[in-house]
Amino acid sequence: MSRPVQADRSRWPVYAALALGLCVAMLASLTLGYKLYGLDKVWAALFAHDGSETATVIAGLRLPRALIAPLAGAALGMAGVMVQTLSRNRIASPDTLGLNAGASMAVVLAMVVFGVGSLGGLSLAAAIGALLTSIIVFGVAAGAGGLSPLKIVLVGVTFAGLAHAVVEIVLTSNEAQLQQLLFWLSGAFVDRPISLFFNGLPVVLVGAALAFTLTSALDALQADDATAASLGVPLLAVRGLTFVAVSLLTGAAVSMAGPVAFVGLVVPHAARGLVGLRHRHQLAAAALVGAIYTTLADVAARFVIYPVEAPVGAITAVVGAGTLVVLLMRRLA
């Protein structure tokens, strides 16, 4: 038996453990909160809904977030892996490159300027916003003398600041739509209708499928451009398709949950630590780790300032900021 096959098989216990962890996290999302429910109540609410308050809370409020949270986390985790490979920068993420901010700005502008109100329309706006942002960030960085990791991050952070400023201006000048806009920008999974999950799922599946078709090329891109080109990688086409995949995944996550911060920074590091550098394994592990991470963060948000619920974006931002500080200290050491 060849070594690659043996190595691949050795990772199956990791995937099994992550899958089990995801199931536990989703059960925790269904059972834990302001009121605690047993598994019997959850089973009855999902498969024998009797119209009671308990069944309504579990099936109508907790089930959507138990589905949306892992889907958004998986999307952001995979997007983070690809962004870090493209930029060859382990501190890059959809957040630091401004993709989340660009998707959020697109959602706000679509709603306010163009009057888009449908979930499908807002999902499309978020994906387009993320794609345009990636083009702008990498285009400006390339025009400034090359795609160095530092330049990409600096351009991304600058664009993110600009996008946040635009969003603030729109929010303060459109009080009538303020509550509806805050629904998207709070970075949370609470009060999300389950229709968001069904709108976001096909977008995430397309983005993930595209990402997995690029795994061999992404493996080569971890080296320098000259090495990748010598291996027959069409650099321009691969980067363009990767931008599309990242934009679809980031846009879908923002359209479902708003800008949940730093998931795309933290998750790829955990995925690489578990399964190594090959992208087909990185992406699979990042999807599972991201799903677990955001689901557990959503559960934690219910208890941090109990009985009031904290924004899940605040939980992931605290963890992500700490991770970023540690990574920066390692780079400077």
C-alpha 105/C-alpha 114 separation (Å) is 13
Q: How many CA atoms lie within 13 A of 2 on its CB side?
A: 3
Tell me which amino acid residue 289 is.
V
Which tokens go with 11? 């990772």
| pLDDT averaged over every residue in the chain | 86
Beta carbons of 32 and 217 less than 8 angstroms apart: no
pLDDT value of residue 306: 84
Which tokens go with 116? 């888009």
Tell me which amino acid residue 270 is.
A
pLDDT tens-digit series, residues 233-274: 888 888 889 888 998 898 889 888 888 888 999 999 999 999
C-alpha 74/C-alpha 45 separation (Å) is 26
Beta carbons of 288 and 102 less than 8 angstroms apart: no
Q: How long, in residues, is the chain?
A: 333
Beta bridge partners of 308: 305
C-alpha 252/C-alpha 149 separation (Å) is 26
pLDDT value of residue 328: 72
Beta carbons of 283 and 99 less than 8 angstroms apart: no
Beta bridge partners of 305: 308
Longest CA–CA span in the chain (Å) reads 66
* pLDDT > 70? residue 148: no
Q: How many CA atoms lie within 13 A of 277 on its CB side?
A: 11
Which tokens go with 87? 């930029």
Tell me which amino acid residue 233 is.
V
- Catalogue all structural domains in the chain, each as residue range(s) with its CATH number: 3-332 (1.10.3470.10)
C-alpha 231/C-alpha 106 separation (Å) is 38
Cβ-based neighbours of 10, under 8 Å, separated by 6 or more? none
**Residue indicated by tokens 């043996």:** 6
Q: Give the range with max mean pLDDT: 78-87, 111-120, 322-331.
A: 78-87
C-alpha 76/C-alpha 134 separation (Å) is 15
C-alpha 260/C-alpha 62 separation (Å) is 18
Beta carbons of 211 and 82 less than 8 angstroms apart: yes
* pLDDT > 70? residue 6: no
pLDDT tens-digit series, residues 87-105: 888 888 888 888 888 988 9
pLDDT tens-digit series, residues 176-199: 666 667 766 767 888 888 988 998
Could you tell me the pTM of the whole model? 0.89
Beta carbons of 278 and 219 less than 8 angstroms apart: yes
Beta carbons of 286 and 268 less than 8 angstroms apart: yes
